[in-house]
Amino acid sequence: DGAPESGGVGRGNASAVLGVVLMSLAPIPARMLHDTVVLKVVTGIDRYQNKTYTSYTVKNVHLQSSNDVIKSANNTEVQLKGVLFIDARKSLPVLDIYALQKQSLANGDTMRAVVTDASGTEVGDYAVLIVDDLPDVPATRRHHWELGLV
């Protein structure tokens, strides 16, 4: 009768649900994932009132320049300097970026992202303004993270 099988799962990278075919996002090409980021999460304040951080190094990420203007949480316009792509499978180690940002904010400030290119040259030290989790099909899988940097 042409109806999808029970569970709505098709072949390959497609899912068929109620006659609609959904395709998975193509993986981020490995050749693009040549940067490294050190995520610095605020963990507290020392006795001199300086922020203390825990650092997490993630390899195989991609920094893309940006000049997009977005609205911040307090409804002001902010210009992004870049967008950092962290692949859910190829960027290592795999971290819960939302949890790290939440922890950092709970301790007084947004986390920071220090990005280096393939040659090891630091290309920027940014504040992480936005953390977006982009799902794949099925929506229970994460495809990648996008971090809006200022």
SS3 of 12-79: CCEEEECCEEEECCCCCCHHHCCEEEEEEEEEEECCCCCEEEEEEEEEEEEEEECCCEEECCCCCEEE
pLDDT for res 4: 35
DSSP code, position 8: -
pLDDT for res 3: 38
Q: Quickly tell me which residue has 């050749």 as its tokens.
A: 31
More confident residue, 140 or 61: 61
pLDDT digits (tens, 9 = 90+) for 102-149: 999 999 999 999 999 999 999 999 999 999 998 887 667 888 999 999
DSSP code, position 100: H
**Residues 42, 51: contact at Cβ < 8 Å?**
yes
The pTM for the full model equals 0.80
CA distance from start to end of the chain: 54
